[in-house]
């Protein structure tokens, strides 16, 4: 039984109680009349007054209960209305959540398919083709925007001079850097394994020196091929950034490498290709005019 039903039941009970009290009052008056008017007159008056006061109190209580019942009924109606509105809102939210789930899933799929650090499509395609043409020399890692040159195919042991086959490949890379990848800065990073430098130790005292010198050599080749010099950053990490464990003798071919990273140039327009180094020998200076004979001036 809810609160409204309880209130209505209490109100009905109070009305019955009032009727019972009034009936008892009439019964009492009749009984008193049978016993004599004088003796019971005062008692009847007092009883009647008490009954009237009781009836008045019960009527007031009944009115209070009816008012309370009305308030409870209004509160119940407000509650039912609020529940109905909440159910409507919940339904709208569920319907909306379905749309939001679809949008969220779409964004999640796009996020998962994004390649952070990857290059634009034209540059990515050009570098992938270059690596495919020279699989023994180059490895392309698109997620990092990086070409990895294998040092054993790029340099002789202990040397920072770029081999002729690698020079031809760098020429192809220079063309990409000046065209499809013209909006990128270039970072060249040299690495070695842990084997100490033996040859040309005077030029490369440590592996750190050798790795940096090799990075500088690659930069020099690309600049000579027309890539703008101010696009480059070079560094060497020696043996301190291996990608595989070095052997007991410190050797590991995979760790001997030069990495070329392309990074989006911020707040800078696409670079114009630098003029290629002019290797044409200078023309000989014109011969000085022969001195006129002194006698000619004296004429």
Helix (H, G, I), strand (E, B) or coil at 139: strand
Q: Which residues contact 178 (CB under 8 A, 6 or more apart)?
A: 226, 227, 271, 273
Q: Which residues contact 203 (CB under 8 A, 6 or more apart)?
A: 160, 209, 213
Q: State how far the Cα of 169 lies from the Cα of 73, in Å rounded to an integer.
A: 89
| Strand order across the beta sheet in which 232-236 lies | 138-141, 146-150, 257-264, 184-191, 232-236
Q: State how far the Cα of 40 lies from the Cα of 44, in Å rounded to an integer.
A: 6
Two structure tokens written together for 3:
């609160």
Q: From 53, 49, 18, select the one nearest 41 (Cα to Cα).
A: 49
Q: Which residues contact 146 (CB under 8 A, 6 or more apart)?
A: 140, 259, 260, 261, 262
Tally of CB atoms within 10 A around 204: 22
The dihedral built from the CA positions of residue 159, 163, 166 and 170, taken in this order, carries a sign that is positive
173: part of which helix (H) or strand (E)? helix 164-178
**Beta-bridge partners for 261:** 146, 187
pLDDT in tens, the chain (299 residues): 555 555 455 555 555 665 655 556 555 555 555 445 555 668 888 888 888 888 887 887 787 678 777 777 877 888 888 888 888 887 777 776 656 667 767 766 665 555 545 799 999 999 999 999 999 999 999 999 999 999 999 999 999 999 999 999 999 999 999 999 999 999 999 999 999 999 899 999 999 999 999 999 999 999 999 999 999 999 999 999 999 999 999 999 999 999 999 998 865 555 555 554 544 444 454 454 444 444 443 44
Q: From 227, 58, 259, select the one nearest 151 (Cα to Cα).
A: 259
Q: State how far the Cα of 22 lies from the Cα of 287, in Å rounded to an integer.
A: 152
Half-sphere exposure at residue 181, Cβ-oriented, CA atoms within 13 angstroms: 28
Find out whether 22 and 51 touch, Cβ atoms under 8 Å: yes
Q: What is the pLDDT of residue 295?
A: 46
Tokens 């990490």 identify what position?
237
Find out whether 225 and 276 touch, Cβ atoms under 8 Å: yes
Q: From 41, 23, 19, 21, select the one nearest 32 (Cα to Cα).
A: 41
Q: What is the pLDDT of residue 65?
A: 75
């Amino acid at each position: 039984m809810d609160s409204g039903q309880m209130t209505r039941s209490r109100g009905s009970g109070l009305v019955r109680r009032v009727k019972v009290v009034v009936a008892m009052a009439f019964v009492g008056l009749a009984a008193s009349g049978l016993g004599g008017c004088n003796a019971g007159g005062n008692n009847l008056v007092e009883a009647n007054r008490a009954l009237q006061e009781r009836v008045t109190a019960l009527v007031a209580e009944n009115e209070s209960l009816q008012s309370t019942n009305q308030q409870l009924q209004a509160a119940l109606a407000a509650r039912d209305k609020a529940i109905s509105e909440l159910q409507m809102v919940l339904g709208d939210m569920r319907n909306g959540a379905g749309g939001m789930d679809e949008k969220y899933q779409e964004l999640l799929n796009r996020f998962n398919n994004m390649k952070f650090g990857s290059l634009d499509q034209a540059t990515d395609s050009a570098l992938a083709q270059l690596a495919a043409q020279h699989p023994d020399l180059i490895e392309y890692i698109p997620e990092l925007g990086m070409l990895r040159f294998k040092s054993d195919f790029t340099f002789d042991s202990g040397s920072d001079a770029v081999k002729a086959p690698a020079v031809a490949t760098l020429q192809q890379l220079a063309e990409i850097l000046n065209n499809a990848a013209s909006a990128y800065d270039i970072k060249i990073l040299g690495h070695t394994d842990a084997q100490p430098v033996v040859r040309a130790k005077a030029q490369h005292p440590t592996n750190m020196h050798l790795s940096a010198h090799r990075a500088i050599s690659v930069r020099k080749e690309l600049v000579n091929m027309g890539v703008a010099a101010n696009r480059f950053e070079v560094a060497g990490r020696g043996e301190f950034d291996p990608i595989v464990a070095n052997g007991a003798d410190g050797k590991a071919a995979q760790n001997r490498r030069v990495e070329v990273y392309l990074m989006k140039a911020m707040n800078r327009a696409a670079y114009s290709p630098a003029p290629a180094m002019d290797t044409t020998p200078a023309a000989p200076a014109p011969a000085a005019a022969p001195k006129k004979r002194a006698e000619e001036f004296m004429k």
